[in-house]
A = this chain, B = another copy of it.
Amino acid sequence: MAHSIETIAKALDAKFEGDGTITISAAAEPARASRSDIALAMDPKYAEGLKAGAARAAILWEGAAWTDYDLDAAIFVKRPRLAMAGLSRVFDPGPEIAPGIHPQAIVDPSARIGEGAAIGPFVVIGRGVVIGPNARIASHASIAEESRIGADALIFSGVRICARVVIGDRFICNPNAVIGGDGFSFVTPEKSGVEEIRETIGQRDEIRQQHWTRIHSLGTVEIGNDVEIGANATIDRGTVRATRVGNGTKIDNQCCIGHNVEIGNDTMLCGQVGVAGSTRIGDRVVLAGQVGVSDNIFIGDDVIAGGSTKIYTNAPSGRVLLGNPAVKMETQMEIQKAVRRLPRMSAQFAEIRKIVAELGQKKDTE
């Protein structure tokens, strides 16, 4: 895992100065860096830390006077977060899963596991499963019958991939996520209270006994290439067609994706986002943490929603949303300002009413 400064600079497509042969085994914050670390100081605010630490090499902000910091070498980057991506890939050891199939894993004889697999203990792989080359599957994961997963998958401990789920290449799935649980879909023999409310907006004529009859999920989940799923996230299977997640889409911890949902490409759902059944979400959408999206609506391409935004109706492409209920971000900003002033305005309004009433009276008695 040790790399020379020259190799690292090349990997980052960046230039370096000083001794390119120094070898580095890890990256660290400037103040905590040891002699074998490379200090991450992509912003002038790290200058102090750099002096405090022991690193011989650093990644510096553009234009830094690297010789001021007792360094033997420095790499200069333009877009620090992009550099972090390259650098972190170089130094990430990944989870340790011994090559081959662990003797305590249970792989159905009909399953086809690609070359280069590392499958941990207590993994269960079902009938007819197909997994591409170089899969790394950590302990306790289960991949149920007839599922198919592409090349280079990294599946962490306790992940549940249920029956007939189809997943593309370079899939990363964090611990205890569940792909392909049953959809939450029920019907009452008679029209239910919720159906009535939807038709009448809040008015109900009568309340009836109702038992919930289950609609089973015959569909599955289809996931594209380069998708990443967070820990304890859940994606339910579809009722008849599949629930779908496009290429390059990233889904964070504890996101909750309902049955029949379709999510486009390169979309990002942050922690605890919930998307209710049958909703469609476009490409390059970004939903911040705890956003909620109602069922059966459509979120256009490139929509961005701020933290905890609750979206109840269709959102056109490119819209930037905030609030509960979601409105355009700038509108929400104005609303929030006005709401904050509302108690004072309310008091002033009471006064004005009195004054106007007096004015009116004077007028009338003139």
Contact across chains for B140 and A142 when beta carbons are under 8 A apart:
yes
A84 to B240, CA, bound (A): 10
Q: A243 interface residue, CB < 8 Å from B?
A: no
Contact across chains for B88 and A193 when beta carbons are under 8 A apart:
no
Q: A343 interface residue, CB < 8 Å from B?
A: yes
Q: A346 interface residue, CB < 8 Å from B?
A: yes
Q: A27 interface residue, CB < 8 Å from B?
A: yes
Contact across chains for A320 and B214 when beta carbons are under 8 A apart:
no
Contact across chains for A335 and B342 when beta carbons are under 8 A apart:
yes
Contact across chains for A230 and B335 when beta carbons are under 8 A apart:
no
Stretch at the interface among A16-24, A60-68, A215-223: A215-223
Q: A109 interface residue, CB < 8 Å from B?
A: no
Interface size on A, as a range, is 35 or more
Stretch at the interface among A2-10, A50-58, A111-119, A287-295: A287-295
Count identical subunits in the complex. Answer: 3
Residues of B close to A271: CB separation below 8 A = 184, 256, 258, 274, 276
Residues of B close to A133: CB separation below 8 A = none
Query: Which listed residue (B88, B89, B308) contacts A292, Cβ 8 A?
Result: B308
A79 to B353, CA, bound (A): 52
Residues of B close to A318: CB separation below 8 A = 204, 207
A217 to B182, CA, bound (A): 30
Query: Which listed residue (B26, B340, B348) contacts A335, Cβ 8 A?
Result: B340
Contact across chains for B240 and A28 when beta carbons are under 8 A apart:
yes
Residues of B close to A202: CB separation below 8 A = 320, 322, 328-330, 333
- For A187, the closest partner residue in chain B by CB is B81
Query: Which listed residue (B234, B240, B302, B304) contacts A230, Cβ 8 A?
Result: B234
Contact across chains for A256 and B256 when beta carbons are under 8 A apart:
no
Query: Which listed residue (B95, B301, B340) contacts A327, Cβ 8 A?
Result: B340
Residues of B close to A252: CB separation below 8 A = 184
Known interface pairs A216-B92, A353-B352, A360-B359; A310-B336 also in contact (CB < 8 Å) = no
1/0 contact string of A294-326 vs chain B (CB within 8 Å): 100000011010011010100000101011110
A91 to B84, CA, bound (A): 49
A294 to B256, CA, bound (A): 19
Known interface pairs A204-B320, A217-B88, A234-B230; A181-B174 also in contact (CB < 8 Å) = yes
In the assembled complex, how far is the CB of residue A299 from the closest CB belonging to chain B, in whole angstroms? Answer: 14
1/0 contact string of A247-275 vs chain B (CB within 8 Å): 01010111010100000001010111010
Contact across chains for B163 and A156 when beta carbons are under 8 A apart:
no
Contact across chains for A193 and B286 when beta carbons are under 8 A apart:
yes
Give the residues from 25 to 42 in chain A that come closer than 8 angstroms, CB to CB, to chain B: 26-29, 32, 40
Give 19 pairs: A residue, B residue, CB < 8 Å, sorted on A.
Answer: A27-B240, A29-B241, A88-B216, A88-B217, A95-B162, A96-B126, A96-B144, A106-B121, A144-B157, A174-B178, A202-B328, A212-B268, A230-B234, A256-B289, A274-B289, A325-B336, A339-B342, A356-B356, A359-B363
